[in-house]
Structure 1
Amino acid sequence: MRRLSALTRAELDPTRRLLLNAGMYSLAALAVPEARQPQSEPPPVTTREPSQAGRAETEQMQTMARVFAEAAQLHGPDHLRTALAAYLAHDVSGYLQASATASQHRRALSGAAQLTLLLGTMCAGSGADALAQHYHRTAAQLAAEAEDTATYAIALRTMSAHAHDLGHHTPAVLNLAERAAAVTRHTAPIIAAYAQAHLAVVQAHHNKHAALTALTTAERLHGLADAVPGPFTHYPAGALHYQRAQTLATLGDRAGASGALTASLRLRGPGERHARTLTQARLAESLLAQGHLEAGLTHWQAFLDECPSLRSAPVTRRLDAMRRLLQPHSQHRATAQLLTDAAIFR
C-alpha cells in the first residue's frame, strides 16, 4: 500500500514522473510472493481515519476499472494514465486506510489491485516498461493480501505477457505463466482459459506439445465459461484467437496463424479498437510472410487509418515493423504510397 501511494503520487509530479519512466525493466523482478490461502475471518481492520470503506466504495472502484479499461481500448493508454494514477493516489489510497471490517478491507485491496494492474498495463502501453513492472508486481501483492485468487492469477499472467511482448522467452517468463495457470485451478473457467492461452504462447518457445495442449485446454475452458462483462471477468473470443495466432506463428504454422488472426479480427467488437488495430497489423505481417503483399497492404491501410486516434507503444512498434518489412518492396506503387502516408507518424 505504501509503495502504491508513493508511485502514484510520483506519477502526478512531472519531474518525478520523468525519473520513474527512466527506470530499467528487470527479469529478476518477475519473482512475486505466493498467494495466501483464504483464512478464517480475522478481527476488523481499524485505523485512525474516521472514514469508512464499504460496499459503495468497492462498487465505485469496479465501475472506474470498467470505465478506464474501455477508454484505453478506444483511445489508447497515453491519455488516461495520469487520471488513473490520480484516482489511485487520492481516492483509493484513502479507502485502503479507512476503517473497515476484514472482509470489506479485502474487497478494497482487491479493487485496488485491479486498478493498479490497469495502470501498469497503461504504463507498458506508454513505453514505461520498468514502471509498468513495478505496478504489476504491486498489484500481484495486493491481490495476494486480499486473498483474491483470480486477480492474483491475472497479475501473474500480465507480468509474463509483458515480458513476452518485450521479447523475453526465458524460463523465468515461462515459470510465471505456469504459476498463473496453476493458480486458476481455483478460479472461474474464463480466468483459467485466459491463463492457459498465454501459457500456450510462451510454451511455443520451449515445448510444442505443451503449447498445443495448453491451447486446447484454453479453448475447452473458454467454451465452458459464462459471459460476464467486465475487464476482469470477460475474455473475448477475439483475444483467444489472437493468442492462438501467436502460438501457431512461433511454431512455424504461418497459414494457421493467418487464419486465427482473421478469425480474431472478425470477432473483435467495436469496443476493442486498440486490439483490433494491432490485429490488423499482425495479420498484414503474417500475410506478407507468406508472399501475399497485396492482401497485407489492405490490412496495413486499415491499421494506418486508426493510428491518428491511438497513441501507444505497441502501435508504434507495429508501425516500425511495417516500415521495415515494406522497405524491400518500396518500388511497388501501392507500397510506396502506404510508406508515404506512414511518414507523418514519427
Structure 2
Amino acid sequence: MAVGVYSLTALTLPVIPGVAGPHGRATAPAAAAPLRARIEQMDAMVRRFSDAAKAHGGGAVHHGLAGYLHRPVAGWLHTPAPEPVHHQLLAGAARLTLLLGTMTADDGHDALAQHYHLTATRMAADAEDTALFAIALRTMATHASDLGHHTRGVLHLSEHAADTARRSSRSVRAYTQAHLATAAAHHDRHTALTALGAAERLHEQADSLPGPFTAYPLAALHYQRAQTLGALGDRTGAVGAYTAALRLRTPAERHANALTRAALAESLLAQGHLDVALAHWSCFLDDCPHLHSARVGRSLEAMRQLLTPHKRYPSAALVLDRASLLR
C-alpha cells in the first residue's frame, strides 16, 4: 500500500446504515468493565499520539500508532460485546485510524493515508457516529486540498461533510464549515464567505471539551480563514489571519507553528515584504530539525524556490545557506 497512488476517484463514500457492525462478529455478551476500560485507553492514546504529532510531526510517531492499532485494538474489535459497547469500540478505533491517516499523509505516504482515511470513514459509519463520520469526510477533503486538488469533487466532499455535521456539536459544525469555505474559495466567492461566516459564528457559540475530536482551536480556524482569503485573492486578509493563528499557537504545537510561519512568509513575500518574510522563515528553520514531516519539507522546498531570485540579498542568502544544511 505504501507504493500506491493517491486517487480522487477513490473518494467513494459509505453511508451510515441502520444496523451496524462488521460481518461475522461474535455477538455473545462479555463483561462490560474491561471493554469500557479499553475504550478509555483508546481515547487516552488518541490524545497522546496527537500531542506527539503536534510536537514532532506525523512521520515521527505514525509507526507507533499503526502498531497499537494492529495489536491490541484490532483484537478488541472482535471481542464479543453488547452492540452499544461495540459501537464505542468501533468509534474509538475509527478516531485512531483517522489520526493515523493524517500522520501518514504528513509523512508523505498519500495513498496509504487515503486508505486509512477511507477505513476510518467506514468504521465511523458502522459505529453510527454521525459527528465522527462528518469529521472523517472533512479530513479526506482536507487531504485532497493539501495535495493541490481543488476540483468540484473535493468541493462536494466538503459540502457533504458540512451537511452531515448539521446535527452535531457547534465545534464539529464549525470545523466542517471552515473547510467548506476553503474548498469553495476556488469556485464561488459568495459560498466561501458564507461558509466562513458560519464557521466563525459557530465557533463563537461552541462550548466543548478540549481534545483532538471534540474541540476546534481558534488558531486552526484563523489558519483556515487565511487559506480561504488567500484563495480569494485577499493577501492582506490572509496575512492578518495567519498572524492571528500564529499568535494563538502554543510552543508545544511546533508542527502547526512551522507550517503557519511558512505560509505567512509566503504571503508576506507576495506583498513585497521581503525582510519580514525572512524573519518568519528564519523561525521556521529553527523548527525544521525537530520535525519529521513531508508537509514541512514541501514548505522548505517552496521557500528555497521563492528566495532563489533574491539570493544576492544578504539576509536572503543567509536563510538559503541555513536551508542548504537541512536535507
TM-score, with structure 1 as normaliser = 0.90
Aligned partner of 1:79 in structure 2 is 60
The answer to whether structure 1 residue 116 and structure 2 residue 121 are counterparts is no
Q: CA deviation at 1:273?
A: 1.6
For 1:45-65, what per-residue CA distance to the aligned partner results, in whole angstroms no more than 9, with x for missing partners?
635898876211101100000
Inter-partner Cα distance in structure 2 for 1:82 and 1:110: 21
Taking the TM superposition and a 5 Å limit, the aligned residue runs for 1:29-178 are: 29-36=10-17, 46=26, 54-178=35-159
Contact 1:49 1:98 in 2 (8 A): no
- Quick one: which of 241, 246, 252 aligns to 2:222? 241
Is the 2:87–2:127 contact (alpha carbons within 8 Å) kept by the matching residues of 1?
Answer: yes
1:295 matches 2:272: no
Q: Is the 8 A contact 2:29 2:82 kept in 1?
A: no
3-state SS of 2:77 partner: helix
Amino acid corresponding to residue 69 of structure 1 in structure 2: S
Aligned partner of 1:311 among 292, 298, 302? 292
- CA deviation string 1:88-123 (max 9, x = no partner): 001111110001100000000000000000110111
Deviation, structure 1 residue 271: 2.9
In the alignment of these two chains, the number of paired residues is 323
**Helix, strand or coil at the partner of 2:13:** coil
Residue type of the partner of 2:303?
A: M
Paired position in structure 2 for 1:191:
172
Give the residue type in structure 2 aligned to 1:207.
D
Shift of residue 36 of structure 1? 3.1
Q: Tell me, yes or no, if the aligned pair for 2:29 and 2:81 is still in contact at 8 Å.
A: no
The superposition leaves residues 28-74 of structure 1 with CA deviations (integer Å, 9 ceiling, x where unpaired) of: 1111112235x69xxxx635898876211101100000100010000
Is 1:334 the counterpart of 2:315? The answer is yes
* Pair 146,65 (structure 1): closer, same or farther in 2 beyond 3 Å: same
The amino acid of 2:110's aligned partner reads D
Superposed CA offset, 1:272-303 (max 9, x none): 22111100010000000000000000000000
Post-superposition CA distance 1:210-250 (Å, at most 9, x none): 00000000000000101411100011100000000000000
Distance in structure 1 (CA, Å) of the matches to 2:62 and 2:29: 28
Which residue does 2:189 correspond to in 1? 208
Percent identical: 56
The amino acid that maps onto 1:311 is H
Equivalent of 1:267 in 248, 255, 262: 248
Report Cα offsets for 1:322-342 as digits up to 9, x if no partner: 000000000000100100000
Letter matched to residue 150 of structure 2: H
Q: Any conservation in 2 of the 1:51–1:99 contact (CA below 8 Å)? A: no
Provide the C-alpha distance between the structure 1 equivalents of 2:87 and 2:28, rounded to a whole number of angstroms.
18
CA distance in 1, matches of 2:174, 2:189: 18
Question: Helix, strand or coil for the counterpart of 2:58?
Answer: coil
1:251 corresponds in structure 2 to: 232
Alpha carbons of 1:227 and 1:50: their partners in 2 closer, same or farther (altered >3 Å)?
Answer: closer
Are the aligned partners of 1:153 and 1:195 in contact in 2 as well (CA < 8 Å)? yes
Q: Does 2:264 align with 1:283?
A: yes
Question: Partner amino acid for 2:38?
Answer: E
Partners in 2 of 1:195 and 1:269 — Cα distance? 23
Q: Using the alignment, how far apart are the partners of 1:99 and 1:269 within structure 2?
A: 42
Q: Is the 8 A contact 2:77 2:89 kept in 1?
A: yes
**What TM-score do the two structures reach when normalised by structure 2?**
0.96
What does residue 17 of structure 1 align with?
none
Matched, 1:22 2:3: yes
Runs of 4+ in 1 over 6 A off after TM superposition: 48-52
